[in-house]
């Protein structure tokens, strides 16, 4: 027997209309390219979004057409987040840190029909342009007249009437897409449905995920082109939180200044961003008042426990770790201290927070190794598999990735994890980064996070190098803090009490900087290449 409730479609339109009718007075704030602070309220955001929707329809954008953005985090990008999907078109955020050829591949693969480009990113777009054919280019935040053949965003939307007749969309309609850029193979497109984004937005807003509330000042430092800024803009709009966006200014001083001025309460970014902020705060104690901040979310790569402790003990700022993937819209797990640990010592709580936490509702996890599904014992490593309401079911137009899905419909994440008895995961590695030494697995992530707890170490990445007997052994590439010194023997002695003896790196190489990916993560493929011929003694 079927139930008798409305089949109410879960679309971004409902989130948009809610903000428009309930939160017209709430503010959207951002730092523009020229460093000035811009602000308007949700009523203006909603009106401009409806104008964008009409302008796109007038330009001949049809349902299912992909409309790309190449931009920083700011008001017009938020308008695109809604204006494009609200007409049934697909918001395609482009990663501005990619190489022009990689961007061209992605634009061509997605067959983008139009692109919104920040004026400050036109030099990048000009390198992509000869390699693609995108009929409509709209320049955002233009400070001067735009070149022939381009449209100017403000003129475009001021001439368009606000679209009042937005379509009722099916909730399975594609709303947005992001490409993942692995270190091997071509980028792969993830195509989010309206339904998945709405459910993710609801999930994210729960207290044991990000718990975004109306009273918050939410600052997504994570770019809007990286996995929907982790869904923070959608969630803020749904609950009517103030949005405070950094624009292109992601240096520690600009961020801290923005948090201070705008009384930010909740923010999110990758570990490298917070490492910079920590150094800045250490060097400038008490100059800024960040006491309004109640949560700093961090994810994208593993978070050293030392970073969490330093923020908490030295600055009273709460770092909370989350794990996710572009393929999961993106939040999978969040490391809020479970109720059962309320009375635990600080030491145990910090150790918990250095793990990746428990799954969000509507996300299920399991892990598998060559013996089958692994027990939830906190010891046995296996590849993490997920399924849920906002997990990819296949990549966009990509026949080669069927092996990323199990026969019973779970997504294989490529991450190696252990799972504790209470469902808390700890990411040990990407499967390709795991070090296989004499048949045993060594977690490069655990070694790096521990090394970054050494007072002389700014950054560390651990990679496998060939070994005649053990096949692979760990090598630690270490960046020392300015003016600090440490020898390989010091670092080995520092790690020794924390790990089994066979985990300790055989070699420590001191380098100037760890190479980064377009998402600000350590680019280990480049390090592996650099140390490819490294020979360890037998
Ligand atoms: P992306 O799709 O670019 O967001 O990358 C997703 C990948 O980042 C995951 O598969 C993990 O390997 C890694 N990742 C994300 N969050 C974390 C975290 N908190 N700890 C360790 N790795 C993470």
| Residue 111 a catalytic site member | no
Q: Is the CB of 323 under 6 A from ligand 1?
A: yes
Please identify every stretch of the chain with a pLDDT value under 50, giving residue numbers as ranges. none
- How many angstroms does the Cα of residue 414 sit away from the middle of ligand 1? 10
Q: Is the CB of 227 under 6 A from ligand 1?
A: yes
Quote the pLDDT of residue 536.
83
- How many angstroms does the Cα of residue 388 sit away from the middle of ligand 1? 17
What whole-number distance in Å separates Cα of residue 289 and Cα of residue 299? 24
Closest CA to 235 of 186, 280, 200, 191: 200
- The predicted model scores a pTM of 0.94
- Assigned architecture for domain 346-430: Roll (2.30)
Active-site residue identified among 347, 436, 440, 529:
436
Quote the pLDDT of residue 439.
84
| Residue 524 a catalytic site member | no
Q: Is the CB of 382 under 6 A from ligand 1?
A: no
Quote the pLDDT of residue 460.
96
Quote the pLDDT of residue 469.
87
Active-site residue identified among 327, 385, 448, 459:
327
How do strand 363-369 and strand 372-373 relate by DSSP bridges?
A: antiparallel
- How many angstroms does the Cα of residue 211 sit away from the middle of ligand 1? 21
Quote the pLDDT of residue 438.
87
Q: Is the CB of 321 under 6 A from ligand 1?
A: yes
Quote the pLDDT of residue 184.
64
The structure tokens 């600000």 sit at 520
Distances 512 to 33, 37, 48, 164, 396 between C-alpha atoms, Å: 30, 35, 46, 56, 39
Closest CA to 225 of 395, 139, 96: 96
Residue ranges of the chain assigned to CATH 3.40.50.12780: 12-202
Model confidence pLDDT, tens digit, residues 384-419: 999 999 999 999 999 888 999 999 999 999 999 999
Model confidence pLDDT, tens digit, residues 265-294: 999 999 999 999 999 999 998 899 999 999
Quote the pLDDT of residue 183.
60
Residue nearest to atom 20 of ligand 1 (CA): 302
Please say whether the beta carbons of 425 and 419 come within 8 A. yes
| Residue 441 a catalytic site member | yes
Probe residue for ligand 1, chosen from 97, 299, 330 as the CB with the greatest number of ligand atoms within 8 Å: 299
The domain made up of 12-202 has a fold known as Rossmann fold (3.40.50)
Q: Is the CB of 443 under 6 A from ligand 1?
A: no
CATH class of 435-530: alpha beta
Quote the pLDDT of residue 538.
62
Instruction: Using the atom order of ligand 1, give the atom closest to the CA of residue 356.
Output: 19
């Amino acid at each position: 027997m079927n139930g008798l409730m409305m089949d109410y479609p879960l679309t971004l339109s409902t989130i948009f209309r809610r903000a428009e009718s309930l939160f017209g007075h709430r503010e959207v704030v951002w730092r523009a390219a020229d460093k000035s602070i811009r602000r308007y309220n949700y009523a203006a955001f909603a009106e401009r979004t409806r104008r964008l929707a009409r302008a796109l329809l007038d330009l001949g954008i049809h349902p299912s057409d992909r409309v790309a953005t190449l931009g920083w985090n700011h008001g017009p990008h938020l308008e695109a987040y809604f204006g494009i999907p609200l007409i049934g078109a697909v918001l395609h955020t482009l990663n501005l840190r990619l190489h022009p050829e990689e961007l061209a591949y992605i634009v061509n693969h997605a067959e983008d029909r139009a692109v919104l480009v920040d004026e400050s990113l036109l030099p990048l777009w000009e390198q992509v342009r000869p390699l693609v054919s995108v009929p409509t280019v709209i320049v955002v935040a233009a400070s001067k007249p735009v070149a022939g053949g381009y449209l100017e965003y403000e003129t475009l939307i001021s001439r368009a009437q606000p679209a009042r007749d937005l379509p009722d969309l099916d909730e399975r309609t594609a709303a947005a897409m992001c490409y993942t850029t692995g270190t091997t193979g071509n980028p792969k497109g993830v195509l989010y449905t309206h339904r998945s984004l709405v459910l993710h937005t609801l999930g994210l807003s729960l207290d044991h995920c990000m718990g975004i509330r109306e009273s918050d000042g939410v600052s997504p430092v994570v770019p809007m082109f990286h996995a929907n800024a982790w869904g923070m803009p959608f969630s803020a709009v749904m609950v009517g939180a103030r949005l405070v966006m950094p624009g292109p200014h992601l240096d520690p001083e600009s961020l801290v200044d923005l948090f201070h001025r705008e009384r930010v309460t909740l923010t999110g970014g990758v570990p490298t961003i917070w490492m910079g902020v920590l150094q800045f705060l250490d060097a400038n104690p008490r100059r800024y008042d960040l006491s309004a901040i109640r949560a700093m979310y961090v994810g994208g790569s593993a978070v050293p426990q030392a970073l969490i402790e330093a923020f908490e003990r030295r600055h009273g700022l709460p770092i909370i770790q989350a794990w996710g993937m572009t393929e999961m819209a993106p939040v999978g797990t969040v490391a809020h201290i479970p109720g059962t640990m309320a009375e635990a010592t600080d030491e145990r709580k910090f150790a918990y927070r250095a793990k990746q936490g428990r799954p969000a509702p509507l996300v299920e996890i399991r892990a598998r190794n060559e013996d089958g599904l692994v027990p939830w014992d906190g010891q046995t490593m296996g590849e993490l598999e997920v399924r849920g309401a906002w997990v990819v079911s296949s990549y966009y137009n990509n026949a080669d990735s069927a092996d990323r899905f199990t026969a019973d419909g779970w997504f294989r994440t490529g991450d190696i994890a252990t799972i504790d008895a209470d469902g808390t995961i700890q990411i040990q590695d990407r499967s390709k980064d795991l070090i296989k030494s004499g048949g045993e697995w060594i977690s490069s992530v655990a070694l790096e996070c521990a090394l970054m707890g050494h007072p002389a170490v700014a950054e560390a990445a651990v990679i496998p190098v060939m070994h005649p007997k053990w096949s692979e052994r760990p090598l630690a590439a270490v960046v020392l803090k300015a003016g600090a010194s440490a020898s390989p023997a010091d670092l080995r002695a520092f790690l020794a009490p924390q790990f089994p003896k066979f985990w300790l790196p055989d070699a420590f190489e001191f380098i100037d900087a760890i190479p980064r990916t377009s998402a600000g993560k350590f680019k280990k493929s480049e390090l592996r290449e650099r140390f490819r011929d490294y020979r360890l003694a037998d």
